[in-house]
Amino acid sequence: MNYIDKLTYPILLGLSLFTFSNSIAQKSISKKINQESTKTSIVSYEKYIDDNNDRHIKEFLELVSIPSISSIPTNKPDVVKTATWIVNKLNSIGIINAKQLTTDGNPVVYANWDKAPGKPTVLIYGHYDVQPVNESEWDNPPFSPIIKDGKIYGRGASDDKSGVITAICAIEAILKTDGKLPVNVKFLFEGEEEIGSPNFKKFLENNKELLKTDFAVTADDIQDSETDPAITLSLRGAAQLEFTVKTANSDAHSGQFGGKTPNSVLIMSQIISSLYDKVGNVAVEGFYDKVLPITAAQKEMMKRIQYDPTTDMKILGTTAEVGDPAFTPQERIWYRPTLEIIGMQGGYTAAEGHSNIIPSHAMARITCRLVNNQNGQEIVDLIVKHIKKQCPAGASVSFKYRPGYASPMQYPTDTKGYQYVADALTAVYGKQPLQMATGGSGGAMLSFKETLGVYAYSLGFELPDEKWHASNEFFRLSSFRKGQQVYCYFLQHLAEEESKLK
């Protein structure tokens, strides 16, 4: 049985109120999803979750304290240490075959609980690597996490160690309560998500049989708010590039040489400025060629989300929104591509001191978010062409490619996988999930579909204000509890519904 085919699920269930007019329409769910048996189990799992909360928080802090920064090669031992930590944790709850599988990059943590023969298999994806840090900007050291006001502060607390620990602790609750799981479960935690999952697709292809599954969820995802559940139906792609402008072999005395010597920071600034037009669109030729118009269905979906421009502005402390006024800010985040300079440095920039030099070289890093048919490699090629063209006499430009471009991704809603996730969120939050897009990317998501034939639906509990990638990242302990509840409900409910289909 192919569990991910476009579904006759509602019909099989005999729930006449399900209508699938189009793949992204919000569903009206009226059936009693809280079957009595599921409800009863959930109560006992909740007791386990609460009884073990202090220990789990300690473990959460331990996990966050390991600086598994995948983009910094010298942190590789910490990346491996984190994978080992997760393997040990899985072993400790009774999943004894947990192990690290090698890839061309960082290891993948894999574990398999397969003692429910005849039952479907659910694969839970997450990532244990984290973004780098600007240590000086953190109120508390990023890898010495603390609990404050019901939140855990530290790098990766939200993105995505919250996902890893929430899923594992939920499984622990079921295993320790019932002595077994209602379905077969596979864990797959990768260590290169934050660098674009460059080796993940190949890993999936090489391990197709091992990873075979009926359903998949990603623990690296978001809800709309503490009280509003959501399911992500659209991800932007991502592509990144670093380049350096060089004007001389060494910095020059600004007096001795100033007036005839090219300045790498000025030239870099001019190149960066040339990447945008006046309204804030990307001025790279061909950048928008494969971007499609926003569809009526997408517009419909956006209408259902209450967009308040002040919410994000409050989170960030911004005072204005920028971008092409031909699109709403929400459209620009969800369905339009971007090109951002994520960092730039040239010359003497130590905190103190003033060195009177003409800088010989300047470096900048770019990240693009892509949509529709935009291809990471093609976009990088266009940007390289643009920058080369802009580079004036007296300067040369070199590029550092960072492979691992994520493709844009769309999810259907007329699948059983979608419905089980929606049911679980509805049960725990007491309201139906919003259907959302996100401006973020998930390099692995398209690979799941292409390689294993499953959509990995969002079952993560990060919230938009939790400063992913930024300083002072945090995660709510309330989400930690709620997340475990949802996972428990999801597996139990999926098992029951699937058994009815037999």
Q: Give 290 or 469: the residue with its C-beta nearer to a second copy.
A: 469
Q: Give 57 or 266: the residue with its C-beta nearer to a second copy.
A: 266
Retrieve residue 332's tokens.
């620009």
How far apart CA 267 and CA 264 sit, in angstroms, is 5
Q: Are 367 and 240 in contact (CB under 8 A)?
A: yes
Supply the minimum distance, in Å, between the C-beta of residue 461 and a second copy: 15
Q: Give 29 or 344: the residue with its C-beta nearer to a second copy.
A: 344
Instruction: Determine which helix (DSSP H) or strand (DSSP E) holds 483, and give its type and residue range.
Output: helix 477-501
How far apart CA 135 and CA 195 sit, in angstroms, is 19
Residue closest to 340 by CA, chosen among 264, 239, 266: 239
Retrieve residue 429's tokens.
């939050």
Say which residue the tokens 């309560």 belong to. Answer: 177
Supply the minimum distance, in Å, between the C-beta of residue 265 and a second copy: 4
Q: Give 2 or 250: the residue with its C-beta nearer to a second copy.
A: 250
Supply the minimum distance, in Å, between the C-beta of residue 130 and a second copy: 10
Q: Give 120 or 337: the residue with its C-beta nearer to a second copy.
A: 337
How far apart CA 275 and CA 281 sit, in angstroms, is 9
Provide the 3-class DSSP secondary structure of residue 243.
strand
Q: Give 52 or 269: the residue with its C-beta nearer to a second copy.
A: 269
**DSSP letter (8 states) at residue 393:** T
Residue closest to 438 by CA, chosen among 237, 304, 289, 229: 237
In the chain, the N- to C-terminal Cα span, in Å, equals 10
Q: Give 196 or 417: the residue with its C-beta nearer to a second copy.
A: 196
Phi, psi (degrees; rounded to nearest 5) at 284: -75, 125
Supply the minimum distance, in Å, between the C-beta of residue 430 and a second copy: 26
For 363-375, give the DSSP string: EEEEEEEE-TT--
What is the dihedral angle through the alpha carbons of 37, 40, 41, 46, rounded to the nearest 10 degrees? 150
Q: Give 348 or 388: the residue with its C-beta nearer to a second copy.
A: 348
Q: Give 419 or 438: the residue with its C-beta nearer to a second copy.
A: 438
Supply the minimum distance, in Å, between the C-beta of residue 229 and a second copy: 18
Supply the minimum distance, in Å, between the C-beta of residue 168 and a second copy: 25
Supply the minimum distance, in Å, between the C-beta of residue 367 and a second copy: 5
Supply the minimum distance, in Å, between the C-beta of residue 307 and a second copy: 11
Q: How far is CA 28 from CA 99, 486, 498, in A?
A: 41, 20, 21
How far apart CA 424 and CA 226 sit, in angstroms, is 15
Q: Are 421 and 459 in contact (CB under 8 A)?
A: yes
Residue closest to 109 by CA, chosen among 119, 124, 94: 124
Retrieve residue 157's tokens.
């607390």
Q: Give 69 or 427: the residue with its C-beta nearer to a second copy.
A: 69
Supply the minimum distance, in Å, between the C-beta of residue 180 and a second copy: 39
Supply the minimum distance, in Å, between the C-beta of residue 439 and a second copy: 4
How far apart CA 424 and CA 430 sit, in angstroms, is 10
Q: Give 5 or 139: the residue with its C-beta nearer to a second copy.
A: 139
Supply the minimum distance, in Å, between the C-beta of residue 270 and a second copy: 5
Buried b (16+ CB within 10 A) or exposed e, 430-464: eebbbbbbbbbbbbbbbbbbebbbbbbbbbbbbbe
